[in-house]
Every structure is written in C-alpha cells, then in structure tokens.
Copies of this chain bind each other. A is one copy, B any other.
Amino acid sequence: MLTTKGAEKAVEVKRVFLFNDAYKHFEGNRNIMREMLGGKGAGLAEMTAAGVNVPPGMTLLTSLCREYYDNGQKMPSGLFEEIKEELKQIEAQLDRRLGDTKKPLLLSIRSGAKFSMPGMMDTILNLGLNDETVEALGTLTSNPRFAWDSYRRFIQMYSNVVLEIAKDKFEDIIENRKHKLGIKADTELACEHLRELVGEFKALVKSERKVDFPQDTDSQLSGAVEAVFRSWNNSRAVYYRNLNKIDHNLGTAVNVQAMVFGNFDDNSATGVCFTRNPSTGEKVLYGEYLVNAQGEDVVAGTRTPRKIAEMSAEMNTVYKELEETALRLEMHYKDMQDIEFTIEQGKLFLLQTRTGKRTAAAAVKVAVDLSREGILSEKEALSRVEPAQLNQLLLPSFEPKDKQNARAQGRHLATGLNASPGAAIGEIVFCPDESERLAEIGKKVILVRVETCPDDIHGIVPAQGIVTMRGGMTSHAAVVARGMGKPCVAGCEAFRVDLDKEEVAVGGKVLRKGDLISIDGSTGEIFAGAIATHDPHFSGEFAVLLEWADKVRTLAIRTNADTPEDAVRAREFGAEGIGLCRTEHMFMSQERLPVVQQMILAHTTDERKAALAKLLPMQKQDFIGIFKAMKGLPVTIRLLDPPLHEFLPKHDDLLEEVATMKAKGVKGTELREKEALLAKVEELREANPMMGLRGCRLGLVFPEINCMQVQAIFEAAIAVKKEGLEVFPEIMIPLVGHVNELKIARMQLEAVARDVMQKEKFTVDYKFGTMIEIPRACVTANEIAEHAEFFSFGTNDLTQMTFGYSRDDAEGKFLQRYLEGIEWAGSTYKVLTGNPFEVLDQSGVGKLMKIAVEYGLQTRPDLKLGICGEHGGEPSSIAFAHQLGLSYVSCSPYRVPLARLAAAQATFGQEEKDR
C-alpha cells in the first residue's frame, strides 16, 4: 500500500496515473504493478509503454478502493479533482473534452483487480454523452445514428450499473419498439427510432428514480467510478473470490479510458483473441470478432461472432497489424497473450491484454516454441509450465464435453476419493476371479469391492479400474492402484455394495454385474455408461522441455516401483533409479500368500524358516527382474514393513464366523481350527497397528524374515552381475527411531550379505541406510547417521507421527472439517490450509526434516538424502526438498516427468518466478 510520509504530504501522493506514467512509476516489478494498478491497468500501462496502440486513459489505484470501504463507502477526498487533473492531458492529447458541446470526449470506466475476475464487476461505456454532446458527436462523426445508438447504450448501462435499474426494463422497451416497427435486428433501428428510445429510457429513469438522467458529465464520471468501487463487493464478486481464494481486502483499480468505437461503421469491429491456439499451442491467432459492434454485443450472444481467421480476408491490413501487435505483446510479456481489441474506422486499438489460459499440451508447446523463437531462455520456458499440469499429458482422460453431457443426462452416479488418477471404462464385476476370467476373454471390467485385500490382487491386475466402498487414500486398493498407474476411486460410500447379490445401490438406482460404468480416478467421479476419452498428448516439445529441465535441476529423480513393469515405465519417464521398492507387495500375490501365512502362523523358528525357504527363490526372481529393468541404476529396497496381521484373514470376519458356527451348534475340528486361527489373529492384533510391531521392529523380533530378504537381494544382484550387468542395491531399513535398531539390524544383515558374497565369490557394491519417518529419528539423526549411508524421508509416516494423525482415520473423521473450516458465530475458521498428506507441511514436518538433514550431515558429510513419501511427486514439496539440499526425490512412475520439471523450477530464485 502507498504510505504517506507525514499527514501534511498526503495530497502530494499520486493516486491516479496516466497509462504511460503508471508504467514508468512501477516499472520493474510486475507483481507490485498488478497489485497497485490491477491486472487490466497494468496491461494497459505496459501496452502503452510497449508502443502498442491503446486509447489514452488513466488508472485509479486499488488502494483507493480500500480507502473507499475503510471510509464507510465514501469517495476518497480530493480524488475527483485528481481525476480531472489527469483528464486534462488526455483531453489535450485527443483534442476533445468531456462534456464539450463541440468536440466531446467519451470515456469507458472499467474495473480491474490484481487477479482476473472476469465479468464479476461493472463496466460503463460511452460515458460523457448527454442531450447536447450526443448532437455534437453526431456532427463530429457525420454519423448521427451512431451517436444516438451510443447514447441509448450509455443510458442503459449507466442506469443499470449506477442507478441500479434492472436491465430487462430497457430491453423490454427496445423489444416493444422493434415489435411495433416489425423489425428483428437492432441494426435495423433507424436514427429516429434510437432518438425515440432515448426519450423512453429517460422517462423510465425518471419514473424509477424520481430524478432526471444525469446530464452533467462530471456527475456521470464520479457516479461511475463509485459504482465500480461498489461492484467489488457485489454478491457475484464475493462468491467468485471465495471460490478462487482471492483476498477480499485487495480492492479493484478503476480504469478511465477514452472510448474507441467498434460500432462506428462497417469498417469498425470488436474482438477477442489468443496470440496462439490455447488448446494445442499452435502459433496462429485464435479468437472471434464482430463487425460494427461493441464488446457487449459479443458477450450478449445476440449476434454470432466470426472466427478470427476470416478477418484475414475481410480486413487484411488490420489483421496484419493485429498479428504484428500480437507478436510485439508476446515479445514484451514473453508469453502467449489473451487480448481484447477494437477497430475504429480501420484503426486497431488494444483494450486489454493478459496471459492466456491454456491446456497442458499448449503450455508445453508454447513454452518450447517461445524459447526456440528466441523470446524465452530455456530457463524461462521451464518456469512457464505448471508441473502439476503435466499429469494430464500422461493419462487418458475423459472428454470434458462428454462428461458434461453425461452430467446433464443424470448419469453422474457418485463421487468418491480420487485415489489413483486416470479414466477407465468397463463392465462392473464384483469378484476378483471373475475379473480375471472376463479379462482373459478380452472384456474390459471395473472391479467393484467393499474394500480390497491382498487376496484380490489377481482380479485387480487385469481390471481397467477399481472402485471401493471403504478405505482412504492409503487403503490397499489405492496404494496398489497408484503403484500400477491404474485408475481407482476409493471410499465411495454412496456405493452400497452387496457382494452376495452382486449389486450396487446408489442414489436410488441399482447397478448390476455387467453394467457399463466410467470412472475418473483424477476426480473421484463415477458415471453410468461410457464417456469418450482422449489419449495422452506426448508431443516432441514435452520431451524437449524435460531435457531442458534435466540440464537445470540438481535434485535427482527416482521412482517408487515394486515390479519390473513399473521400473521400465519409470525409466522411460526419466527416473534415475528406484528410491523405494516396497517388498511387501511381493508377499501379497495369490500364489505366495499361503506361504506367507504359513510363515506367520509358524509355531517355531524352524517352521518359520521352512516357509521362508520357499519364499526365497520367489523373492530372488523379483529382484532379478527389477535389477535388470533398472540397468545399473541404483535400487533402494525397503525390507518388510507392514504388521504381519495384514497378511492374515480379517479378525472381524473370523469372529463372526466363529460366533455363527457356535450359535448353529457346529463342533469338532472345523470349529477348533477356526478358533485357533482367530486366536492367532487376535494375538497379532494391535490397538494402533500404525505404531505397533512393524518396520524394523518386525525384523528385530523375527530376524529370519529380513535375513531371507537380504539373501535374495544379494543372490539376485550376483546373478545379474554374472550376466555382465551393473547392480547397485541400497538396503533400506524402515521405521528406525533409535540408532540401536539400525545398528543391530545392519550388523545382522551385513553378515548375511557377506556370507552370500563369500559363497558366490562375487562382490556387490551396496549401501545400507534407513527411512526417516519417526520424529525421534529426526532429532537423533546425528546418532543414526553413524550407521546409515543414506536417509530416505518417509514423509507419509513422518506426517502421521508428527501431526499424530492416523491418515485413514483423519481423512474420514476430522481432516475434511479442518480443511473446510470450523463454523462459529457465523464465520468459518480454517484449521489447515492444505492437506498435509498431499502438500508437505513445511513448518512442522519440514522443520523436523531440516533438523534431521543438519544433524545427519554433521555426522556424515557425504550422507545421501532423499524423499520417498508421496510428497516426492508434489511440486511445492519438491521445491522444499531442493531447498533442504536433498540429493533426490522419489515418486510414482507417472509423476516422474512432473518431478523433473518441478526440480528444475526449484532452482529458480524468487525473482525468476515473479517475472
């Protein structure tokens, strides 16, 4: 905000700037320029300065709007005098004067806040007309019809905006008149008809407001400016700001600008256009125009505008001028522009320019093209693309229009959690076996379950997508689906799934097996029937942009991958290693689960070892596949992490079965076996499994499990090395909270590794390290680093422990309320501004990470540092990882391109981001 140095100087502080003065005054910082002048004012100032033909005008600073409200909605004192003072220069430049009965100047009065709020606030055109100046305008332009048309438009608009008389009433008068005359188009109204309309309009105003329509042009101007200030807080604008999280205290600037007339004659026109195609990025003007019209005609939709390409034929000279101007603006702004223009008697005027909104595909192409054209440096090109947009380019998605249609047809069934992005269409199946069977005969199916478990994996793999009724973003279905890049809508509670009947009840409808549905894992929406999809745009420019990103970034990008297929995909997307290979998923496949259960239910260590011996060759094959896929890139393998009961049948199911058997009088072996299983499951059951026997605790209590895994890793590594390939395994011990956990586990496991290497007479370069996912690990990182060659921040669990939130419970029970806000005494108070499981909480979790990095490097200056939680694929979190000085982030395969770009952008300073 402008501050005054001493109250006596208040009057000297400028609050109103001519466009060309404004640019000089605020030059060099676009952010402040937009804040003070609003987006539109800043654009007008910049265009003027850039030599683009802009009708002269002035901008009233946004601070005046705030002053207006602070002042109990009174116009800031002295403001009108300032406006008049600046106006003199415009009048002199144009040799016209406001209210002059010979050479009247007409003005447009437009709002313009820091952030674009299209159509939400008010605009007044043709200001300065009254009963006398209208005649002068007619004479001056030798076009009385134009003059009277402008006057009736002005009365309509002014009466609506300033005097707050409903638009319809004026439209009714026009319609009546046209009806009486037997004509259809406004353009058929002759000058005398318009003159009569003006009379009727003035009579309407008098009857509605008991005063005459203001003839004094100063009053008109002052009223219009105040109306724009007032429109900042109209209900539309407030709603829009709430929706878009725009600060209500910013206020709007007001732009007072000399009128130019697209409706002057047939050599005049008005239009809007993008300097490039916003959908594809192609370098061609893209927009619409209307001949002999003002902007409001385009908006009103009464006449159909024409494609801008046609202008090349119709008005070739001015089209070329428009092309040149577009180029000039792009050169100036170094970006694609979205412009408004008016042509008055063949002369081009620009009324607005702003950065054009575009699709992800266009964003990439425009950035790369602008750089190739020499307008942007590669770095600047990189900063033009929003990393989060890139996901659009990697996934098939539904055609937005077809989705809209489906909605209109009432085919939207429900919305669940957007657990794994992408679009999928298929027939409903409820049973994993059936999913497998149907997929084998070429059917596309969507697997619908109450929730999924490891037993279902054979049905998940062949399905197009997954829907679950229960479970959050970290439920089995969600995690497995994200790992596979398969669309998944989880926790869709509106789906009342009845597995016995093979039916889903949803909002009064019933869906049955074989019914076609479409699911959007990016939004969580589910539709009946099929919706048209489009394939990912994976253009050449996309690859080029990412190569540029690779040159700039210092963070390495790894991937979270548990299978050779994921590993290959991630490498194609540019992953430089695996940052997290979760071994538990390898335990969950259908043929292995019985062996895993055998291991868990073992009564003795020997029984356990026998089961593990069966798993060893399978694990070895898993690792051979992954090592080969990664072709010598480092692979971080996390040893078994989840609590063992996750591999066993569900406790509640067993309890119900046993109770039912007992009630029905079942006895003997069948009951006893079931009861024994229930007893074992109860023994492993925990009050808070998240904080129980899992991670390295499991490995310390049952060392045989980890030993088998390490044996498999080293045997696999040696097998691959014997084929002449390179392998760099990094063994990661999860959930370490105390240095001794790591120290002891490492001692045990390195002994196993040495044994394998000695036996095979082959050495393997390897590293031992740990997840940092327990708060205690962060504050004792100096001790832990003594025994860890790398730290990988498991930001999912670290967020859970640092906040004390169980993610699955929090998301259903209170996190949503925290994000939406707590209602109290008529206001809403947000507890959290972002979901910490999506965007890394820098001030809390990040603080602990910072401590861990500092302490860890104190002990071991060459400590390798990374993130392998889901935040590793979120742009602001990647930027934070860069700031912390980490070596790499690891994310799911489909997020690798995003991460490459975000990591590049993270190297840019604040200044580069503001430009």
Contact = CB atoms under 8 A, between A and B. Distances in A.
Interface of A: 652, 655-657, 659-664, 686-693, 697, 700-701, 703, 735, 737-738, 740-741, 743-744, 747-748, 751, 773-776, 779-780, 783, 797, 800-806, 808-810, 813-814, 817-818, 822, 824-825, 829-832, 841, 843-845, 847-848, 851
Contacts of A831: 700, 738, 740-741, 744
A153 to B, nearest CB: 49
B686 A813 contact: yes
A207 to B, nearest CB: 48
A824 B744 contact: yes
Contacts of A690: 687-688, 691, 804, 806
Given A691-B809, A831-B740, A802 B825 contact: no
A661 B664 CA distance: 10
- Chain B CB within 10 Å — which of A660, A661, A804, A818 has the most? A804
A825 B751 contact: yes
Label chain A's interface by main secondary structure: helix
Nearest to A799: B776
A804 B847 CA distance: 18
Given A659-B659, A740-B831, A844-B738, A814 B687 contact: no
A373 B664 CA distance: 80
Tell which of A703, A801, A830 has the most Cβ of chain B within 10 Å. A801
Chain A to chain B: the 5 pairs with minimum beta-carbon distance, closest first: A688-B806, A663-B663, A692-B809, A691-B806, A776-B844
Contacts of A822: 700, 703, 744
Contacts of A660: 659-660, 662-663
9 contacts: A652-B655, A660-B663, A688-B690, A689-B809, A691-B691, A693-B813, A737-B804, A747-B829, A783-B843
A645 B625 CA distance: 47
B848 A775 contact: yes
Nearest to A847: B779
B775 A804 contact: yes
A843 B779 CA distance: 8
Given A692-B809, A701-B817, A780-B844, A832 B775 contact: no
A663 B671 CA distance: 15
Contacts of A655: 652, 655-656, 659
B813 A737 contact: no
A804 B652 contact: no
A825 B657 CA distance: 44
Contact of A659 (B663, B740, B841): B663
B808 A797 contact: no
Given A693-B813, A700-B814, A830-B740, A806 B656 contact: no
Contacts of A848: 775, 779
B804 A844 contact: no
B740 A847 contact: no
A847 B738 CA distance: 13
Contacts of A841: 776
Nearest to A693: B813
Nearest to A736: B804
A774 B801 CA distance: 8
A710 to B, nearest CB: 14
Contacts of A774: 802-804
A691 B688 contact: yes
Contacts of A809: 686-689, 691-693
Contacts of A775: 775, 801-802, 804, 844, 848
Given A700-B817, A774-B803, A774-B804, A844 B779 contact: yes
Contact of A847 (B652, B780, B844): B780
Contacts of A800: 691
A832 B740 contact: yes
A737 B801 contact: no
A748 B779 CA distance: 35
Contacts of A663: 659-661, 663-664
A763 to B, nearest CB: 22
A776 B751 contact: no
Contacts of A741: 831
Contacts of A851: 779
Nearest to A832: B738
A298 B609 CA distance: 55
A805 B797 CA distance: 13
A804 B776 contact: yes
A825 B656 CA distance: 44
Nearest to A774: B804
A245 B681 CA distance: 37
Nearest to A472: B687
Contacts of A703: 822, 824
A692 B810 contact: yes
A817 B702 CA distance: 11
Contact of A803 (B776, B806, B824): B776
Contacts of A817: 700-701
A453 to B, nearest CB: 14
A713 B847 CA distance: 37
A741 B743 CA distance: 39
A822 B703 CA distance: 10
A829 B740 contact: yes
A803 B701 CA distance: 17
A689 B692 contact: no
Nearest to A831: B740
A377 to B, nearest CB: 39
A906 B832 CA distance: 41
A671 to B, nearest CB: 13
B780 A843 contact: yes
A744 to B, nearest CB: 5
A747 B664 CA distance: 57
A889 to B, nearest CB: 22
Given A655-B656, A663-B664, A803 B737 contact: yes
Contacts of A691: 688, 690-691, 800, 804-806, 809-810
